[in-house]
Structures are given as structure tokens and as C-alpha cells.
Structure 1
Amino acid sequence: MHEYAVQCYTLSGGTVLPQQTGHDMPTSTLYGVFRATDGDLVIAAQVDDAWQRFAAMLEANGGPPGFGSDRRYHSLNGRNAHREAILAVVRDWVGARRVAEILALLDGIDIPSAKVQRIDEVLADPQIQARNMVIEQQHPRYGTLRLANLPFRFSDCDTTIHQVAPDLGQHNAEVAAGLGFSTEEITAL
């Protein structure tokens, strides 16, 4: 999950140590989490052509005049150099709108974005359900448990978890016997 930080560090020979800056990436303007009136969302308009579509849309929908045509922001280096000014405009614009309104506008111009969901929303998400990401297991002591399934899938491999996790030491005698220990040695252990 830290591929960007890993690349910065390793490709610079260890000279670039990424620093936490909040809810965005200072070397990738505009990418980050923004607060709307009814929740948070992620906006990923850091690529030049996506930025230009985003900035033009923002200007056309109540943003500051000239924001979409400001050439200082048309390159990644230019946006990064003016990051704080851009973030101030985007935060104000997003902060005056609802998540659904913003997502509809961004979807209409092909800007990657998503609502930041609470865990109850994640578990109710149709994609999570369709991928069977939450499974039920019968536990001998606790009854029915709902657990996160493995997140990865392989075309020719069943990755479904078929048994509950054992209690501490539950299989020790069986494992020891498989290793050649006698019943007496296992009892002594």
C-alpha cells in the first residue's frame, strides 16, 4: 500500500524520504481526500489532461473565473508549485457541495473519484457483496461469525476460507504426532 513512498525512496537512492502531509500527495497535485457538506470523497485529477477537465468543470460550476485556463496549473510541476493555492480553491468548492453532486460532475468528465465510505457502507456495497468479500462461518464456541474473506482471487484456485481459526494449541498433539513424537512424549510436553 506504500508503493509510491517505496519508489520515491528506492529510485532516489534513499535521498527522498516522503513525509506525511495530510490527505493529499504533495508531489501529485491534485490527488487526495476532500470534505463535502455530507461526507468525504477522493479526487484523482493529477494527470495533465484529467486536471484540465477537472479545472474547467470546477470553473464552470461556481469556481473562480480563469481557474480552468490558468496555464500555471497545466503541468504537474506547475500544479505542485502552486499546490496550496489549488487546494484552497478545491477545498472551498467541494466544501460547499454534497458528495453525490460532486461525484456526478466528476463522473461526467471521467475523473476518478469515490466517496469515502464508513465500514457499514463498505459492507453493504454491491461490489463487496458480489465478490463475496464477507463470509459466514460457524464457530463451535461463538456461533455464526461474519468475517472478511481473502481479498485476492485466482482463476483456477478456490481461495475461500473453509474452516475457522483454531484455538491456541488446539492442534499441538496432532502436529507433534505427525512429527513422530509418541503419546507419552506429547503428554510430557
Structure 2
Amino acid sequence: MHKPVDKAEHAAPQDQSSRLPLSRFKVLDLTLARAGPSCVRTLADWGADVIRVEPPPEAGEASEVVGRRDGSDFQNLHRNKRAITLNLKTDEGREVFMRLAEQADVIVENMRPSVAKRLGVDFESVRKRNPRIVYGSISGFGQYGPYTERPSIDQIAQGMTGIMSVTGFPGHGPLRVGVAVTDIMAGAFLAQGVLIALLDREVSGIGRWVQTSLLEAGITLMDFQATRWTMDKKVPPQEGNHHPTNTPMGLFPTADGFLNLSATGNKNFAKFCKLIGREKMIADPRFASSGLRSRNREALNELITTALRTRSSREWFEIMVAEGLPCGPVYNVKDVFADPQVERLRIKRSVTHPRLGELDLIAQPCEITGFDRNLRSATPDLGEHNDEVLRSLGYDAEGIERLKAAKAI
């Protein structure tokens, strides 16, 4: 017998040594923390020539804002890039940056709005040297308005966008989501905006300023919960582990743990009732429609919980999956990467660091036929590519020494 062909393993490869989807673009990375680096990581992973610009150690604020440079977080955020140091507070450092900007397609920064202007590397300053530049900015609250200059972090944005108000159990107060969702999504939205601007530039020839904020990203993440207010004038409450509008859908206890499941819609609800041995619930007038099930959620969930406590999570999982009902386990992170489906998707990829050895990091979540999500290079050390990049701008050894003497690099 022939082994079935696995399309994921045998997709026709491109010559990735010479071209990736974004390999024709050069990006200058002025970002700190997480939101900006998340955007640039997407561009770098898909082949853009990214030069990360960081202040030299003696220039003030340390580059390792996210943590130690050798730590997992920093290594995951800044792979597939080159790195230089520039002191943008010096005239010489700014001039090096502007020479780079003249050759660049994209600049990404996430400073407070006034900082980029004060340093002279804001959109208006850059486009005088390069009218085709696509300039991406992430801030806490946006580039205009009464909160423009306020500092912000993900948790503040979670609080101000309603995310914490709908997360957690009723009566237990607001709760933050366990990951930096507004940072990560602001980065994703900015990457999307940058790519849209690059597509437009191919037609118009004009550079654009692309802007987003943690505030806008968080409101967008609220999605249907936000429109429950904007359209319906309903303030969504906390619902714990149950879906705010569909029933039954949520996390239910079993004999030995928990199970996530969904049995919404009359057809699936009837099937579910039979599977758990509670056929009487199908004819119960309290549960005769989706609306009635939502109104009588507490009583329904209590009956479901009583039934599910009779078997283990694994037993119920196998029963539900066999009948095509959506359900799944609740993993910790170690469990996630032991799951055979996660292993098969290979979202965990390795890269070799010259000092740290082989590192397992998280690849891009999209697959594009003909290209691989393999990581090409580990996060560079601070200023690792100074000489290489400066020579590409025409600086000779003497010129590089002058920059060092001026504390510009």
C-alpha cells in the first residue's frame, strides 16, 4: 500500500534562499516592549529585511525593555532581524537613521507621539527624505485627542476597553485576560495596515502614515460585546466560563476535571441531551428554543453539570467528538505542545542561537503554500550588525570610528 500523500509535507517549495513574500521590503524597527515588536516580527518572519535600531547602552534607557535579552520573550519577539545601535539624540545618529530611512520601505515605532517628533524621526520628518515611506505607529491612546501623551500598557488598555469588565465570574470583580491581548492585537492590526499601505503604494506611489493604538485594538477585540452596547444599549456582564449569549456553551465539570462544549441550536441540543441521557430536557418548555435556554441558563447548566459528573472528561470527549459536537479539553501550556494536532501543525519551530544553542519559538500562525514558516535567524545581540549596516551606507572604517567617538552608535 502507498502511504497517503501529506500535502503539508509535500507542498512545492519556492527558492526561499532568494525570496520570501516580503523579501523586497526593507523595514526599520524602532519599537520597544511588545506591541510594536509583534508587528515587526510578522514582517520579518515573512522575509522583510528588518534592521532593529536600539540605543547604545550608554545612551540611557536599556534595550532589554521586555526582559533579559537572552530570555524567551525577547528571543521570540526579535528573531529574523539584524540589529544596530544608534543614539538618535545626537545629530550624527539621526543622520545615519535618515540615510537608512531613504533606503527603507517601512518604519515602525511605538513611542509616545511627542517622542518621535522630539527625536526628529516622526513621519513628517522622514517623508521629507523619503516620500514613499510607509510609517507605522502604535501608541497607547492614538496620535490625537486628550489622552495622546499618556503612557499606557496592556492592562490599562484592557481596563479602559471593557475587556476586564466582561472577563471573570459574576460578583468577583474585573479580571485581566492572562495574556497581553491589546499589545498583541495592536501589533497584528498595524502589520495588516502596513501591508495595505504597501499595496496601495504600488498603485499610487505615495507613502502613508499607518496608526493604531492599544485602545483601538482593545475595542475592536470586544467585537460583538461592544456592539451589544453601540446597537442594543446593553452593558454586557461577566459570565464566567459560559458564552454570554449562546446556551449551552461553556466549561462544565466532569467526574475528574472539566470539558469545554457547545450544544447550541435545536438540532445539536437534542443530540446532546440524548448523549448525556437526559432526553426529558428536549421536551422541557423551559428549554424549547435558544432564547428560552438563555433565559433559563442557570437551571439548564445545573442539569447538565449533574449529568456530566457521572463520567470522566476523556469519556465525554470521545462520546461528543464521535457525534460531531464541538468540545475540547482544558490544557495548561505543557499540555498544549504535547497535543498531536499541535505537533502536526508545527507552530513550534526551532532556531539556533550562537550562544544559547537551539531555541524553540512560536512561528507565524498562517501557512502560505510554497513557503515555509521556518525561522531563519535568532535574535541578534545588541549592535551585532553595526559595521555591516554602516558599510552598506558608505561609511568606511574611519567614518565608523568617528561615529563611535561621537557616541552616535
TMscore range, shorter length: 0.7 to 0.9
> How many residues get paired?
185
Q: 1:71 to 1:156 in 2, by over 3 A?
A: farther
Alignment partner of 1:43: what SS? strand
Distance, in Å, in 1 between the alignment partners of 2:388 and 2:230 is 49
Q: How does 1:139-150 map to 2 (within 5 A)?
A: 139-150=353-364
Q: Which residue of 2 aligns with 1:21?
A: 239
Q: Which residue of 1 aligns with 2:371?
A: 157
TM-score, length-scaled by structure 2? 0.41
Q: Which residue of 2 aligns with 1:43?
A: 261
Q: How does 1:15-164 map to 2 (within 5 A)?
A: 15-58=233-276, 60=277, 63=278, 66-164=280-378
Which letter maps to 2:305?
Answer: R
Distance, in Å, in 2 between the alignment partners of 1:46 and 1:91 is 16
Cα deviation code 1:86-122 (max 9, x no counterpart): 1111122223320121112212332111111232222
TM-score, length-scaled by structure 1? 0.82
Distance, in Å, in 1 between the alignment partners of 2:246 and 2:343 is 33
Contact 1:56 1:69 (C-alpha < 8 Å) held by counterparts: no
Deviation at 1:178, TM superposition (A): 4.7
Cα deviation code 1:46-99 (max 9, x no counterpart): 2221112112322x2xx4x72232133132111100000111111222233201
The reply on whether 1:183 has 2:397 as its aligned counterpart is no
Cα deviation code 1:137-175 (max 9, x no counterpart): 221221122222222211233332211122344335544
Alignment partner of 1:97: what SS? coil
Alignment RMSD (CA, Å): 2.7
Overall identity of the aligned pairs, in %: 27
Q: 1:8 aligns with which of 200, 220, 225?
A: 225
Deviation at 1:19, TM superposition (A): 3.1
Contact 1:5 1:17 (C-alpha < 8 Å) held by counterparts: no
Contact 2:252 2:258 (C-alpha < 8 Å) held by counterparts: yes
Alignment partner of 1:68: what SS? helix
Q: 1:110 to 1:185 in 2, by over 3 A?
A: same
Q: 1:5 to 1:184 in 2, by over 3 A?
A: same
Distance, in Å, in 1 between the alignment partners of 2:256 and 2:386 is 52
Contact 1:34 1:91 (C-alpha < 8 Å) held by counterparts: yes
Contact 2:258 2:329 (C-alpha < 8 Å) held by counterparts: yes
Distance, in Å, in 1 between the alignment partners of 2:364 and 2:323 is 34
Alignment partner of 1:147: what SS? strand
* Structure number with higher relative contact order (C-alpha < 8 Å, ≥ 6 residues apart): 2
Distance, in Å, in 1 between the alignment partners of 2:393 and 2:224 is 44
Distance, in Å, in 1 between the alignment partners of 2:309 and 2:292 is 24
Contact 2:350 2:375 (C-alpha < 8 Å) held by counterparts: no
Contact 1:149 1:161 (C-alpha < 8 Å) held by counterparts: yes
Alignment partner of 2:301: what SS? helix
Structure 1, unpaired ranges of 5+: none
Distance, in Å, in 2 between the alignment partners of 1:171 and 1:96 is 62
